[in-house]
């Protein structure tokens, strides 16, 4: 079934926002949802990233795992979510480690990142800062 225009706009908004997360930094699904104006939709952010196509199957103009750093988005408690696919959390942690992100484990054995050290939580997306400053100057 094809996606509605609204659903497609949400998914693209997620991908564009995630592209702005700096190398070596992480944020939460909820923060991405807030940044794109849908604070009630952190689970949908996760679903959008879960269904991000692999770079091997995408055209140059498409969003894919090679140009959307999905690994930089984790749960709001700093843990890497456990998915249905065995070993997915370990692979997620390994990709973050290649960016220099220290990934440990919590008492429950889940992979965990310290948001205090590498968290990225701007009030607005960097691409929108100029727009906000222009509005402040006009207002």
Q: What are the chain's domains?
A: 5-138 (1.10.10.10)
pLDDT tens digits for 12-59? 999 999 999 999 999 999 999 999 999 999 999 999 999 999 888 877
DSSP state of 26: B
The pLDDT-based confidence of 2 (bands split at 50, 70, 90) is: confident
At residue 138, the pLDDT reads 56
pLDDT surpassing 80 at residue 135: no
């Amino acid at each position: 079934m094809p996606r509605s225009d609204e659903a497609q706009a949400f998914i693209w908004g997620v991908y564009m926002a995630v592209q702005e997360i700096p190398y070596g930094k992480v944020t939460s699904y909820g923060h991405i949802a807030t940044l794109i104006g849908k604070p009630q939709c952190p689970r949908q952010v996760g679903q959008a990233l879960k269904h991000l196509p692999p770079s091997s199957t995408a055209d140059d103009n498409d969003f894919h795992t090679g140009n959307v750093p999905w690994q930089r988005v984790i749960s709001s408690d700093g843990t890497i979510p456990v998915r249905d696919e065995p070993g997915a959390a370990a692979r997620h942690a390994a990709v973050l480690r290649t960016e220099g992100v220290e990934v440990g484990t919590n008492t429950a054995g889940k992979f965990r990142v310290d948001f205090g050290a590498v968290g990225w939580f701007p009030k607005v997306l960097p691409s929108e800062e100029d727009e906000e400053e222009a509005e402040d100057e006009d207002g």
